[in-house]
Chains A and B, each alone.
Chain A
Amino acid sequence: MFLFFGVFLGLGLILTCPFLIHPLWKQRAAQDWPRMPCTIVSSEVKRHSGGDSTTYGIHIVYRYHFNNRMFQSDRYDFITGSSSGFKSKKMAVDAHPPGSQRVCYVNPVNPSEAVLRRDLHAGYLAGIIPVVFTVVGAAGLFVVRRNKLNVGAGGSNKIFGLGAPPNPGSLPPHSALPAILAPKNSPLKKFIFFFVFAVIWNIVIFIFASQLLQGWQKGAVDWSLALFFIPFFLAGIVLPGIAFYHLLALANPRPRLGVSSQCVPLGGSFTLRWEFSGRTSRIRRLHIRLAGQEEATYQRGTSTITDKAIFATLNIFDTTNPLEMTSGQATVVVPSSSMHSFASSNNKIVWFIQLHGEINWWPDIKEEFEIVVLPLEAAQ
Chain B
Amino acid sequence: MIHLDIQNQKTSFSPGETIAAKITWQLEKSVNAIELRLFWHTNGKGTQDINIVNTLRFTQPPQRDTRPFQFQLPSSPYSFSGKLISLIWAIEAVTDPLDEAGRQEFILSPTGREILLCDTFPANPVNG
Contacts and interface: CB of A to CB of B under 8 A. Distances in A.
Nearest to B44: A296
A200 to B, nearest CB: 28
Given A375-B76, A375-B77, A314 B121 contact: yes
A318 B125 CA distance: 10
Interface in B90-128: 110-111, 115, 117-128
A309 B46 CA distance: 12
B39 interface: no
Contacts of B85: 294, 296, 347, 349
A311 B118 CA distance: 5
Given A296-B44, A375-B76, A311 B119 contact: yes
A227 to B, nearest CB: 34
Contact of B121 (A328, A335, A377): A335
Interface string A292-319: 1011111100000001110111111110
B125 A332 contact: yes
Nearest to A379: B75
Contacts of A297: 46-47
Interface stretch (A72-80, A178-186, A214-222, A338-346): A338-346
Contact of A375 (B45, B78, B84, B118): B78
Contacts of A311: 82-83, 117-119
Q: Which of B45, B48, B85 has the most CB of A within 10 A?
A: B85
Interface residues of A, number: 40
A309 B16 CA distance: 29
B49 interface: yes
B84 A339 contact: no
Interface residues of B, number: 36
A346 B78 contact: no
B49 A347 contact: yes
Given A298-B46, A328-B128, A330-B127, 9 more contacts: A294-B84, A295-B84, A311-B118, A317-B127, A328-B127, A331-B126, A333-B125, A339-B80, A375-B110
23 contacts: A271-B128, A292-B117, A296-B44, A311-B118, A312-B121, A314-B125, A315-B122, A316-B123, A328-B128, A329-B128, A332-B125, A338-B115, A344-B49, A345-B47, A346-B46, A346-B48, A347-B46, A347-B49, A349-B80, A349-B85, A376-B15, A377-B75, A378-B76
A-B pairs with the 10 shortest C-beta distances?
A296-B46, A315-B123, A377-B75, A311-B117, A344-B49, A377-B15, A375-B76, A346-B47, A329-B128, A296-B84
Interface of B: 14-16, 42, 44-49, 51, 75-78, 80, 82-85, 87, 110-111, 115, 117-128
Interface of A: 271, 292, 294-299, 307-309, 311-318, 328-333, 335, 337-340, 342, 344-347, 349, 375-378
